[in-house]
Structure 1
Amino acid sequence: MPAAPLPEARVVKADRISLVWLLPILALAVGGWLAYKTWSEQGPTITISFKSAAGLQAGKTKVKFKDVEIGQVSAIRVTDGLDGVEVEAQLTSGSEHYLTDKTRFWVARPRVTASQVSGLETLLSGAYIAIDPVTEGQSTRHFEGLADPPVITTDEPGTRFRLRSPTLGSLNLGSPVYFRHIQVGQVVNYELDNDGGAVTIDVFVTKPHDRLVFVNTRFWNASGIDVSLSADGVTVDTESLLSLVLGGIAFDTPRMIETKGAPASAEQFFPLYPNRRAAHERIYLNKQRYLMLFSGSVRGLSVGAPVLLHGIQVGEVLDIQLRFDPDRLGFSIPVLIEIEPERITVDEGVERALVNNSDLLKQLVASGMRGQLQTGNLLTGQLYVDLDFHPDAPSATLGKQGGYTVLPTVPAPIEAVTTKVKNILAEVDAFPLAQIGDDLTGILASTRGLVDSEQTKQALTDLEQTIADLRSVAGQLDATMAPELTRLLRQADQTVANVNGLIGPDGPLSGETLRTMRDLGAAARSIRTFADYLDRHPEALIRGKGGMQR
């Protein structure tokens, strides 16, 4: 029986896509969208170089800004030079706007220093990488991490200023900045100049205190305790207890006749003065140097001692030397001083003459202006140079020595006293004390001989006998004459009583006396009447009283 023929396959072309492919296509689309979304939301990848990766872990350590997570560490590897580590971090989208060469990164971990305590929250959450974003500058993806967190971040309101100082002193990062004993900022950075000649210190003054800094504001080092010993005595100055430990900087704008100027701009340079006194001293451009020669001791005079004119400082001492003159075999002490004529206020148009005219200086010297050493403090013994007028000083003129004008001097008051004492001692030495002593010795010897002589002893014996006789006579007089004197006194008393009875107010003698006085008064009146009559009728002396009648 023949085999049955095999069925033939018939190909039928489908009119539409099978539903079986819908699911893979949908999955592929979702996957592609998720991949695109992930890629589009992924931020830039950066690398940060650190000295150590202590506390950092790939896939766990976060990158944060103000406690907001903006990335994560993806890898950590050692640098090719084995001098540090390189941390790769993946940041979120949008962070590329502030990835500039001024942006800073550091590891936030617990830190306890003398100036601040930070990062305590990482004790529980673990270390993380902090960022201080800055939008200004050139875009970059590689950064050098900071070893320590910055003192001030860029979002802190305020202004940064730069100070120049010969040394750093006891200043450090975080050292406070004071204005009138109120902390208004702190030190944020310092660096040594390339030539090593000075130190540049960056300070940050917070708002609104930064408006107190002007172009002529003075900054000074307020670290520790400033103790100065000068002719004015002992001066102790400190800003606060905190500045004793951390150091500090203070600033102020001196109050002068001139205006304090415009507000200072950011990054402006200021000199850093060593102390408050140096900061508040005015700066004078015109300086003139003179030489003074002293012959006495200058112990207590030091370089930097003030030069005063009528009690006001006009300069300072620059140098002190000891010079030997072989011609006169003596020593002199030249003292170099520096005068700032601008410290002396003068009328308009006269200042140039005061500064440059030597004739005016000659006139001052001719009027008695001299230099003299004075004691500024009895406790310390510090001396200063006093310029004043001494009308009684010997005449002197200006001189020249070593290219300097030599100002005449007068001895110090202690030297004048010493000279007078020496003169007195010289006169005492010249006084013939030895001869006077010999004469006194001879006189005493003669007196002793006279006292010890027999004639003196006999005279004393006779004198003693005479005194005894006088005492005996006085006793006899007292015994015989005393009663008689008493009787005479009683009689005198009786006599006085009788006299009082006669001349008393009621006594007979008193009444007679009154009558006599009345008669004398009547007689006086009669004589006055007769004299008046004769004055009117002088012819009565010849003709009688009735001779004028006819």
Structure 2
Amino acid sequence: MNQNLPCTEPRPIPAAKKVTRRRSPISLIWIVPLVAVLIGIGLAVSAILQRGPEIELQFASGDGLDVHKTKLKYKEVAIGTVTAIALSEDHHSVKVSVQMDKRAAPLLAGDSRFWVVRPRVAAGGVSGLNTLLSGAYIALDPGKSRNVKRAFVGLESPPLVIGDMPGRQFVLGADDLGSLDVGAPVYYRHIPVGRVVGYVMRPDGKGVDVRIFVDEPYDHFVTTATRFWHASGIDLSVGADGMKLEMQSLLSVVAGGVAFGGGDASNGEAPVASRFTLFSDQTTALRQPDSIVQKYVLVFNESVRGLTVGAPVDFRGISAGEVSRIDIDFNRRASDVAMAVEISLYPERFARQQRNRPTALPTQQGLRQILDGMVAKGFRGQLRTGNLLTGQRYVALDFFPKAKAAPIGWNRPIPELPTQPGSLDSLQEKLVAVVDTLQGTLQRVDRLIAHVDQEVVPEVAPTLRDARQTLARANAVLSSDAPVQMELRDTLREVERAAASVRDLADTLEQQPQSVLTGKKASK
């Protein structure tokens, strides 16, 4: 070994220090569930903050409604969910609990309406077809009341008018409903412009009030002078004016309908919920109103069969009024029965028809003088047939120059106008006279035939027998097998042969004229 090298000894290796690790109080495996819990709490808090009030709806049936599935919608946007369905205490309906969204709380006014949207077939058409795949849902029509409610009675059918629908409602008063129903169309110039939204009987039971809704912009055509009438089904009327057939559309035949017309913009638009009269037909509705009515009585000594109340009173083609009453006028002194027809005359119609319209109608005294002058010239009332098919009659006012003089009975409770026998009765009298004449003629013919049989025939009988014998001999001579006929036929045959010989001679002379001198040449 080399002693010059220093001597080195191995140093001892220090012992490693023991590291002590601190354990985390929460294990990593709990982080994920903790995060999930926090998220759930956040969602729950958010749901609680977003959750609105809970409302209760009452329906007749829970058909189509499912817990936690059926939605409450407004404008096709879900704003709530059905949370419970249970029977009511009286078991006559169901109670549906709906959890609303917080933002939808202002929609819960006291007059808000709820209904179940499902497929329906009604007079107005088919609705709710989109729910065939998506399922039924509850619809909301917000109200305008300031009162707040949490319990509502749902509608059994969808309302035809909702709060934000543009248009106006009107009320029509009628004697009866006719064939109208909710959803029946409303027409203007044969165009559907609205619908019937409801009806109710009046408290006194003497009529009905029909509510209609006219869509915008057609509601502006409803003025204060507008007239409404039934346009239900087929309007067939047969009267003294003839036969009339009117129909709006095929839908009105099935579901009925209402039509309106008349008036213009100068009359001004009718306010919302204005009240109108619903007339039975278009003719009655558009008839110009008359403010002055004068009653008169016409007494007829003839049958008034075919004349009805409401029949027209006509003056040379102008409707002057109508029949208002028909009674029996019994005269005890004369033991006679006549028919008293009360008519309503409208003097304004005469004024409207005049070429030079007067500024005002004549006074009662002036009108009386005018009628007295007209009656003096033959002005009378007469029954006439207006329709030969139905036999319906009307009252005609006209001048009859040959009529007997008769005054107006002004002293009666209702003034009595003189009358003229009807043309039909005159025709019947003429027909009776003709029949009587024909009967007399037939009787004379019968007597003549009897005279011929009794007196003439016996005298001419021998002459008739001689004539028959002569005819028999003539028939014997002219028969085909009589001798005269056979001799005549033989004579005719001889004449025919002689004629043939003459034709042969004529032919020979034509070909050989010299044969008269030289004789006929022999044929080669």
TM-score by length of 1: 0.69
Does the 8 Å contact 1:99/1:135 carry over to 2? no
Q: Secondary structure at the match of 1:94?
A: helix
Alignment root-mean-square deviation, CA: 3.6
Q: CA deviation at 1:154?
A: 2.3
How many residues get paired? 424
Q: Which residue of 2 aligns with 1:142?
A: 151
SS at 1:40's partner residue? helix
Alignment deviations for residues 270-304 of structure 1 (CA, whole Å, 9 cap, x no partner): 11111111111112122111110101222221221
Alignment of 1:18-29 (within 5 A): none
Q: Distance in 2 between matches of 1:109 and 1:296?
A: 66
Q: Which residue pairs with 2:274 in the alignment?
A: 268
- 1:372 maps to which residue? 382
The answer to whether the 8 Å contact 2:231/2:252 transfers is: yes
Equivalent-residue separation in structure 2 for 1:349 and 1:248 (angstroms) = 41
| Pairwise CA distance, 1:394 | 0.9
Aligned to 2:119: 110
Give unpaired runs (5+ residues) of structure 1.
1-18, 454-550
Give 1:427 shift: 8.9
Identify which of 168, 177, 183 aligns with 2:186.
Answer: 177
Deviation at 1:340, TM superposition (A): 1.4
Larger Rg: 1
SS at the partner of 1:381? Answer: coil
Q: Distance in 2 between matches of 1:167 and 1:195?
A: 13
Name the residue aligned to 2:205. 196
> Equivalent residue for 1:65?
74
Q: CA deviation at 1:138?
A: 2.9
Structure 1 residues 205 and 349, CA gap change in structure 2 (3 angstroms): closer
The counterpart of 1:285, out of the listed 291, 298, 303, is 291
Paired with 1:119 and 1:337, the residues of 2 have a C-alpha distance of 56
Once the two structures are TM-superposed, the CA of residue 429 in structure 1 deviates from its matched residue by: 9.7
Question: Structure 1's 313 and 279: CA in aligned 2 closer, same or farther, altered over 3 A?
Answer: same
Return the letter of the residue paired with 2:424.
I
Q: Partner letter of residue 339 of structure 2?
A: I
How far apart are 1:214 and its partner, in Å?
A: 1.0
Pairwise CA distance, 1:342: 1.5
Taking the aligned partners of 1:385 and 1:406, their CA distance within structure 2 comes to 14
Tell me the SS of whatever aligns to 1:245. helix
Give the match's secondary structure for 2:363. helix
For 1:203-214, list aligned pairs within 5 A: 203-214=212-223
CA contact (8 A) 1:161 1:269 kept: yes
Paired with 2:64 and 2:290, the residues of 1 have a C-alpha distance of 57
| Amino acid in structure 2 at the alignment position of 1:302 | T
Residues 260 and 320 (structure 1 numbering): CA distance in 2 closer, same or farther, change over 3 Å? farther
Query: Does the CA-based 8 Å contact 1:353-1:360 persist in structure 2?
Result: no
Q: Distance in 2 between matches of 1:249 and 1:223?
A: 7
Q: How many Å apart are 1:322 and its aligned residue?
A: 3.2
In structure 2, the partner of 1:132 is 141
Greater alpha carbon shift after TM alignment, 193-202 vs 354-363: 354-363
TM-score normalized by the length of structure 2: 0.72
CA distance in 1, matches of 2:168, 2:136: 30
Q: Output the amino acid matched with 2:408.
A: L
Amino acid at match of 2:377: S
Mapped to 2, the partners of 1:84 and 1:144 lie a distance apart of 10
How has the CA–CA distance of structure 1 residues 93 and 419 changed in structure 2, closer, same or farther, with 3 Å as cutoff? same
- CA separation in 2, counterparts of 1:429 and 1:53? 86
* Aligned equivalent of 1:87: 96
The answer to whether 1:168 aligns with 2:168 is no
Q: Does 1:341 align with 2:347?
A: yes
Secondary structure at the aligned position of 1:57 is classed as: coil
Cα shift at 1:61: 1.8
- Over residues 106-136 of structure 1, what are the superposed CA-to-partner deviations in whole Å (9 max), with x where a residue is unaligned? 0112222343222222223222111112345
Residues in 1 aligned to 2:372 and 2:148: alpha-carbon distance in whole angstroms: 71
Q: What's the counterpart of residue 313 of structure 1?
A: 319
Superposed displacement of residue 450, structure 1: 13
Question: Cα distance 1:393–1:350, how it changes in 2: closer, same or farther (>3 A)?
Answer: farther
Secondary structure in 2 matching 1:322: strand
- 1:313 Cα deviation from its structure 2 partner: 0.6
User: How many Å apart are 1:425 and its aligned residue?
Assistant: 7.6
CA distance in 1 between partners of 2:455 and 2:64 (Å): 111
Match of 1:384 in 2: 394
Alignment-mate amino acid for residue 417 of structure 2: L
Is the contact between residue 123 and residue 182 of structure 2 (CA under 8 Å) also seen in structure 1? Answer: no
The equivalent of 1:240 in structure 2 is 249
